Amino acid sequence: MMPPVTLRDATRHDVIAIVAMLADDALGASREVTTEPLPASYYAAFDALARDPNNRLLIAEINGEIVGTMQITFIHGLSRQGAKRALIEAVRVASLHRGKGIGEQIIREAIEMARREGCAMVQLTSDKSRKDAHRFYERLGFVTSHEGMKLTLD
Amino acid sequence: MMPPVTLRDATRHDVIAIVAMLADDALGASREVTTEPLPASYYAAFDALARDPNNRLLIAEINGEIVGTMQITFIHGLSRQGAKRALIEAVRVASLHRGKGIGEQIIREAIEMARREGCAMVQLTSDKSRKDAHRFYERLGFVTSHEGMKLTLD
């Protein structure tokens, strides 16, 4: 059996590894910039994120080696009798480590984290082209009940 | 022409009106509880929300009359070169005021708010049964590019 995946909060030192994982992806490749040094916008975003107690950027590790990343945001709202929800974004498994069930361990951990925070729901959107991802999340109990709509601003 | 819709931050006094609008909806009716007084969970959620500077619960008014509500959450992240995104949730127009273009004014205001905050994207999910809503958002420039997936926790 695979050693367990542990999740920890990312530090500023992890930004390079996280951006590399975001870029190492069919859709992410054209969206990210992996120059050295990285564009300052990544660090500015990290600093803003780290100041927000409802927003956690996570590193998944096996035996101290980085194998994945994920962001989870906790959102209070009045809907559903004042339910808190968790939003999952930017899930990636490092390419060397794909196909080993690591993504499943990451998402199961995220669900437990949401439960501990008192969330009534976990939600995410997944690009319509990522059919494997939809089957993956449905296997973990997610229901494809909504359309995910995006507006890009200039 | 209709007088302009203005958006302001909700106060604790608006919670009853907001919950009434959330409940006055095909899907919301079964999810909300509109007893008097309201369940304390709504006020606890309002207080938590009001403490979060990245989360705004808004009231739409025309000439001081409440005509709608909306929540917008600003989320920092590393994806897309450290782009900030805005998440829209819980959009409602009071039933007396539907069909007058108020929803469109609310969403256009929300988009401007996201732009002023420096967001690169506005996103939302809409239940697959709300076909009119999808056409409405597409008319405003949203692209139905993603599946919206939800997992309800016990």
Kindly list the domain boundaries of chain B, sorted by start residue. Answer: 6-139
Give the model confidence (pLDDT) of A67-124 as tens digits.
999 999 999 999 999 999 999 999 999 999 999 999 999 999 999 999 999 999 999 9
Give yes or no for residue B150 having a pLDDT over 80.
yes
Q: How far is CA A18 from CA A71, B80, B122, in A?
A: 11, 12, 23
Query: Who has greater pLDDT, A25 or A8?
Result: A8
Q: Quick one: pLDDT at residue B45? A: 98
H or E stretch at A68: strand A65-75
Across the interface, whether the CB atoms of A75 and B81 are under 8 A apart is answered no
Which 8-state DSSP code applies to residue B38? P
Question: Which of A48, A119, A151 faces B121 most closely, judged by CB atoms?
Answer: A151
What 3-state DSSP class applies to B1? coil
Chain B partners within 8 Å of A19 (Cβ) = 78
Q: Quick one: pLDDT at residue B64? A: 94
Q: Quick one: pLDDT at residue A66? A: 97
How confident is the model over B89-103, as a mean pLDDT? 94
| Identity of residue A139 | R
Q: Quick one: pLDDT at residue A107? A: 97
How confident is the model over B7-27, as a mean pLDDT? 95
How confident is the model over B43-53, as a mean pLDDT? 97
Q: Quick one: pLDDT at residue B3? A: 82
Report how far residue B98's alpha carbon sits from residue B153's, in angstroms, rounded to the nearest whole number.
33
What's the pTM?
Answer: 0.95
User: Among residues of chain A, what percentage have pLDDT more than 90?
Assistant: 93
| Identity of residue B79 | S
Q: What stretches of chain B adopt beta strand conformation (E)?
A: 6-9, 55-62, 65-75, 84-93, 119-127, 143-152
Across the interface, whether the CB atoms of A124 and B89 are under 8 A apart is answered no
Which 8-state DSSP code applies to residue A25? S
Q: Does B54 touch chain A (CB under 8 A)?
A: yes
Closest CA to A67 of A123, A105, A13: A105
Cα B6 to its chain centre, rounded Å, is 14
Give the model confidence (pLDDT) of B69-91 as tens digits.
999 999 999 999 999 999 999 99
CATH of the domain spanning A6-139, picked from 3.40.47.40, 3.40.630.30, 3.40.50.740, 3.40.50.10860:
3.40.630.30
Pair A12, A46: CB distance under 8 Å: yes
Q: Does A27 touch chain B (CB under 8 A)?
A: no
Region of B109 (left: φ > 0; alpha: ψ -120 to 50; beta: rest) is alpha
Report how far residue A40's alpha carbon sits from residue A147's, in angstroms, rounded to the nearest whole number.
33
How confident is the model over B16-24, as a mean pLDDT? 96
Q: At B154, is the pLDDT very low, low, confident or very high (cuts 50, 70, 90)?
A: confident
Q: Does A31 touch chain B (CB under 8 A)?
A: yes
State the average pLDDT for chain B: 95
Query: Who has greater pLDDT, A2 or B117?
Result: B117
